[in-house]
Structure 1
Amino acid sequence: MEPLPLDFYSQDVDAVARSLLGVTLTVDGIGGPIVETEAYDAADPASHSFVGRTARNAAMFGPVGHAYVYRIYGLHQCLNIVCGTPGSAVLIRAIEPRHGIEIMRERRGIGMATASLCGGPGRLCAALSIDKAFDGVPLSQPPFLLTRGSHPEDVVAGPRIGISRAEDRARRYGLPRSPWLSRPFPENLPQRSK
């Protein structure tokens, strides 16, 4: 399996967010297909980059195809992929746990239901053991591996989760019937081809 080419990440952030669905993300061989993403850019009031470059968001202004990792609520890490124009990144919200499920369970807590392992950015990072040390790291090199998977037939776009600005923008992308989403999409959203 070859990693995604660097020019994949040079696309518009919304195109990358949609195109990442079905791509397999692993860290040291642990992971699975991406089923949910969110898009952010410097013109978006909900984005960390909206205020310009800071020490916290510097990776968002760095090379495409690199990780932007930050902590929320003082507890959870979030993995983003830098892409498109400076200040753009895609938040990886959920994956289907497929490779190394037992290791993910150990990291998240023994007996954890499989559907809960990687449903949400904080859970995903805990299951894959991603922390702030990965901020700015290229995703084209170990321990990361992102490879093309099956192309989903239907993708849905809806409002993002957990933001207080620009809530109405449909920049959350996902596979509508996936049991591994962080939260189901509303039933009435139109489906579109990837």
Structure 2
Amino acid sequence: MHRDTVFIVDDDASVRDALSLLLSLRGYTTATFASAEDFLSAVQPAWRGCVVLDIRMPGMSGLELQRCLREAGPTLPVVVITAHGDVAAARQAFLADAVDFIEKPFDGEQLLAAIETALSGLRTAASPQQPVARTSPATPLSAREREVMSLMVKGLHNRRIAEALGISPRTVEVHKARVMEKLGVKNLVDLVRLVDQGRA
């Protein structure tokens, strides 16, 4: 394989074709695989690039493939795509060092940005690493907002959060909006990533 190949692993042929076309038009070299097993049987230690993989596939799941790559495979950063995103899956993906977790249908530019982030990380991997500064929100979260946030990232819905904290679902909505605004995140997946990185 050529340097910095994007390896697409998805059981849906139409998705593989569409992603391969999109990436090829942007100058990327691509290789497609219909299953996690197919990819694992073909992968070589010398391959460079990143993997774009679906979570739900027959046989081995995308998260299982990600774990295998992290434990024993070559250094291939992973971008996860899924039509069935949830907090637990997002957290598992990020704990295994996924570059991004993108829910279908997604914007092509969002995927391209994630891929470029993954490949940029490869290009600078040999450079001395600078300590990553822990960032804090410009306006600190209140104690109640932190309570709401901790339940949000566990996947609880508004009514369950309200019952747990003894407040109304409407109040939960207000706190959630403030948490997202203060932390500068647009969705729950981004919030989970921020929390798991220790930046919230």
- RCO greater where, 1 or 2, for CA within 8 Å and sep 6 or more? 1
TM-score calculated relative to the size of structure 1? 0.23
TM-score calculated relative to the size of structure 2? 0.23
Flag the structure with higher strand content: 1
Larger Rg: 2
